[in-house]
Amino acid sequence: MCGICGEVVFNGTKADVVRISRMTDAMEARGPDSMGVTQRGRVAFGHRRLKIIDLSDHGAQPMTDTALGLSLVFNGCIYNYKELRAELIEKGYSFFSTSDTEVILKAWSEWGKDCFSRFHGMFAVAIHEHDSGRFHLARDRFGIKPLYYSEAGGRLAFASSLPALLAGGNIDTSIDRVALHHYMSWHAVVPAPRTILNGVRKLPAATVRTFEADGRSSDFTYWEPVFAKTPEDLARSAEEWRDMVLEGLRKSVRRRMVADVPVGVLLSGGVDSSLIVGLLAEEGQRDLATFSIGFEEAHGEKGDEFQYSDLIAEHYGTNHHKIFIPSSELQDNLPGAIRAMSEPMVSYDNIGFYLLSREVSRHIKVVQSGQGADEVFAGYHWYPKLTGSNKPLQDYASAFFDRTEEQMAEAVSPAYHCEKDESLAFAEAHFARPGAEDPVDKALRLDTNVMLVDDPVKRVDNHSMAWGLEARVPFLDHELVELAGRIPAEFKLAQEGKGVLKEAARKVVPSAVIDRPKGYFPVPALKYIQGDYLDMVRDALSSQAARERGLFNTAYLDKLYADPTKYITPLRGSELWQVALLEMWLQAQEV
């Protein structure tokens, strides 16, 4: 787990090593253990290292294999690297390290683009072929590891974080109007390749982009989930699916134990993280480190779920760390959490993950986390509304979108209006793709490929890596996701959502954490904005930078200030926090 960056030049000049050094320095938190910068003519790489596998200097990056004529930088972890290494040795390759990084170099030499289909893991990779001059960028199937880039003046720059690109300079920081529409429609989700800034884009998940020496590029998509059902799938019983899911999850959790350092768990007390703890206990993990966080209640809403995390910790005898954050500490740390975001993200649990990661990083370097289960196994409240729907797009939008076009016009200044409902058009095109006939599957496919990538997955990466902590997500094992896609919706929607997963969990964990009401990561102070928090967001939105930018209509903001707790989105988000967070993020990045 690391931070990567680089520059490739297509105009006949050399790469700017000083620019790479600035970007590398900006990612120190992602890789506090060591750094490296190399240049080979028109290509320069930078790397920050967090030592997880092969703790020796042999695993340092940027990594070059002169015999193969390849260099790379890599962020992430290849969980099956030992098996691939053994296969490559049988083919005649020799290794100078025990790292998964070197396995990628050899795998590329042997299989080219097809190597990524062989990897179980999370990764963002840049590979330079010395002889041909070709350059390749690749990202894992779910975009768990970020990869941002900018193209200007015959130069391509890339980095693990958007702030690192900004540190490199020469970036167009004007606002992308279509991205703003998505941000305001989908509670801050901006689908790839866009970001909120016109000058920065992100590589889509499961994509390999190849640049020829003259700058021409082409994309190769090496994976996508399938939601089609065979006759055998439709004939399977609930019990068969339960057992298949449990076995698939066992395998996924086992894969993510690969490390040369201890692995812990972020334990919310919900069924997802509790199941991970239970499966690790089955694997023989002893004295497992688990971590939970809670906040002060506000507006009558409880700010922690300690009763459930305590239950699991006691049941399995984990080395449990319970962290309570008072309101004053929450507010003091908000600026740091916002600066750590590669893109503005409004979910309240951003600050939770930021502070939780701070505490966890004092004990260990690697954790497993339960993100992805709700999108993969249909745990959210809008999925049942699509059962048998004759107008799935409209039903999805009414349950999921933050605003109608009329409300968008009320909120966003005319200078930033789009000519059409860009977010609805995006969802419509996604729903129209073949391969997911059931309306519920259409929504699950969109959420798994888009919303999951650019909300919970990004949230976990940004805030864990802000403290040099690697977070692994077993519910996003691609084989498990493929299995879930084949399960008929009725089995996933049972028991108020995630029915098949809950039945699998009953064979592992206490029923008290399964049959409880569905919980969310509660941070009430950011949902019901009052007192000092109201002053904070008002100051951000009335600052000179905000007035000059002019993103939002004054009358709309005044309405929100007058009664912040009244204006809550369909997904229980604060409208005022959503608009304030964007402005605070832009100011934190000095845009």
Q: Which two tokens stand for residue 144?
A: 């768990």
**Whole-number percent of the chain with pLDDT over 90:** 80
Could you tell me if 75 and 39 are in contact, meaning their C-beta atoms sit under 8 angstroms apart?
no
Quick check: 121 pLDDT over 90?
A: yes
Residue 67 has pLDDT above 90, yes or no: yes
- Are 306 and 297 in contact, with CB atoms under 8 Å apart? no
Q: Is the pLDDT of residue 523 over 80?
A: no
pLDDT of residue 516: 76
Average pLDDT taken over every residue of the chain: 93
DSSP 64-127: EETTTTEEEEEEEEETTHHHHHHHHHHTT---S---HHHHHHHHHHHHGGGHHHH--EEEEEEE
What is the distance between the alpha carbons of residues 233 and 230, in angstroms, rounded to a whole number?
Answer: 5
> 169 vs 32, which has greater pLDDT?
169
pLDDT at position 491 is 97
Give the residue-averaged pLDDT of 97-117: 97
pLDDT attached to residue 518: 65
Which residue shows structure tokens 């005898």?
Answer: 317
Dig out the tokens for 332 from the structure: 């003091």
- pLDDT at position 52 is 81
The pTM of this model reads 0.95
CA nearest neighbour of 31 among 61, 51, 46, 45: 51
Compute the average pLDDT of residues 270-276: 94
